[in-house]
Structure 1
Amino acid sequence: MEFTFEFLVFASIVVFLSALVQATIGFGFPMIATPLLAMMTDMKTAVIYVAIPTLLLNISALISEGNFLQTIKRFYPLALMAMIGSAIGTQILLYSNSEIFKFLLAVSILFYLFSQKISFEMPWVRQKPNLSTFIFGLSAGIIGGLTNVMALVLIIYSLEARHTKKEIIQSTNLCFMFGKIIQVILFAVHGSFTQEILETSLYNLLIVAICIIIGFNLRKKIASESYFKMIKAFLLLMALALIYQTIL
């Protein structure tokens, strides 16, 4: 794959804005960057392009929240299921088109958001933690491997599990990290990482590092109530963006 100058400029802007969002609210980089980049290239290239910068953002988010070992101990079952699902989704991505999966995901998100208006809930998420961990972890991983939007499923899980702001950031980023590690390995084995991809990834890491510094300072100023409102607004915008991109 060979990137044009216009694509690299556009990608740099996308990476900066997406990384700033993730550094501020704890997630969002691959969810925003992937569909935007896919408008100028194919889905597989977009997913590969953001794989390495995503890992840096995940690790930095986990470290910034503290209690790294405790986070692993608590959420490793969810992260392991996400890793298995990511391996499955990545293999499918390497050999098929994932557009239909994006559309189905967007519909399910909209259903979830509007169902809250009619007091629809999923109490089984809290009543059967092992089952919900298996279902949401595996499905998040598969969808993440296919479309890079693992966070949407994990946010729904976290909201129903009544996780705090800190727990949402910790659990989602741990799952991202596990999922991205296996995805990077599979891409490398498949020969998907070209020299140009690796070089631009290193350049993007510098952009991401700047956004981390800015975003972490902004995150401290966001109240928990505002944070959860931002999450639901973010879900709605991403669902609409996914549907728009699929239709186009």
Structure 2
Amino acid sequence: MEFTTEFLIFASIVIFFSALVQATIGFGFPMIATPILAMVTDMKTAVIYVAIPTLLLNISALIVEKNFFQIVKKFYLLAIFAMIGSAIGTQILIYSNSEIFKLLLAISILFYLFSQKLSFSMPWVEKKKILSTVIFGLSAGIIGGLTNVMALVLIIYSLESKHTKREIIQSSNLCFMFGKIIQIILFTYHGSFTQEILELSLYNLLIVLICIVIGLKLRNKIKEDNYNKVIKGFLFIMALALIYQTLI
């Protein structure tokens, strides 16, 4: 794959904005970066382009928590099944790279945005913890492998499991980390990570590192409620644009 100068400039701005959001509130990078990039390229390229920066942000978010091994102990089973699901989703993406995945991404974002307003409950999640972990872990991984939006399934699982906000961020980042590791391995094995992609990823990592420093300073200064409203509104517009692009 070859990237034009215009695309690289545009992608750099997207990476900066998305990484700054994640560094500030603890999550959001792949959910914001992937749909924007998918609007100017195909789904597979968008996922590959943000894979390594996503992994760095997930690792940094877990390091900031300062209790990495406790997080792993608590959520390792969910993360393992998310990794298995991610492997399945990535394989499908590699062999069936289709515009329909953009529509799936848009639907996933819309479902995430409206899920907290829907009055449904799944009491079996708490009663059958192992089964729910397997189902939600695999589902999150498959959707994450295909669209990079693993968070929506994990958030539903966490809310039904009565997890705290901190636990939601911890489990999401751990699952994303496991999922990204296997995804990068598979992309490398199939030759999707070219030398150009690796060089661009190193450049993007510099942008991400700058955003991490800025974001950590902003974290306690920005009112989270207002920030979340802006991000959700932005995601809603992106989802509608993806639907229009796919169907028209």
State TM-score, norm by structure 1: 0.89
Decide whether the 8 Å contact of 1:35 with 1:242 is kept in 2: yes
Instruction: Work out which of the residue numbers 104, 109, 114 in structure 2 matches 1:101.
Output: 104
Give the structure 1 partner of residue 239 of structure 2: 242
Decide whether the 8 Å contact of 2:140 with 2:151 is kept in 1: yes
Q: Distance in 1 between matches of 2:159 and 2:214?
A: 27
Q: Distance in 1 between matches of 2:41 and 2:67?
A: 39
What amino acid is the match of 1:59? I
What are the within-5 Å matches in structure 2 for residues 191-206 of structure 1? Answer: 191-206=191-206
When residues 151 and 128 of structure 1 are mapped into structure 2, their CA distance, relative to the original with a 3 A threshold, is: same
SS class of match (2:69)? helix
SS class of match (2:117)? helix
Structure 2 portions without partners, runs of 5+: none
Give the structure 2 partner of residue 150 of structure 1: 150
Give the structure 1 partner of residue 47 of structure 2: 47
Q: Distance in 1 between matches of 2:6 and 2:237?
A: 26
When residues 110 and 177 of structure 1 are mapped into structure 2, their CA distance, relative to the original with a 3 A threshold, is: closer
Root mean square deviation, CA, Å: 2.1
User: Are 1:61 and 2:61 counterparts?
Assistant: yes
Give the structure 2 partner of residue 181 of structure 1: 181
Structure 1 portions without partners, runs of 5+: none
Decide whether the 8 Å contact of 1:21 with 1:28 is kept in 2: yes
What amino acid is the match of 2:173? N
What are the within-5 Å matches in structure 2 for residues 66-215 of structure 1? Answer: 66-96=66-96, 97=98, 98-106=101-109, 108-109=111-112, 112-116=115-119, 120-215=120-215
Q: Distance in 2 between matches of 1:232 and 1:77?
A: 32
What amino acid is the match of 1:247? Y
State TM-score, norm by structure 2: 0.89
Decide whether the 8 Å contact of 1:79 with 1:137 is kept in 2: yes
Note the C-alpha offset of 1:125: 2.2
Q: C-alpha deviations, 1:64-123, integer Å up to 9, x for none?
A: 01110111010000000100000000000012222343244245435523313xxx3222
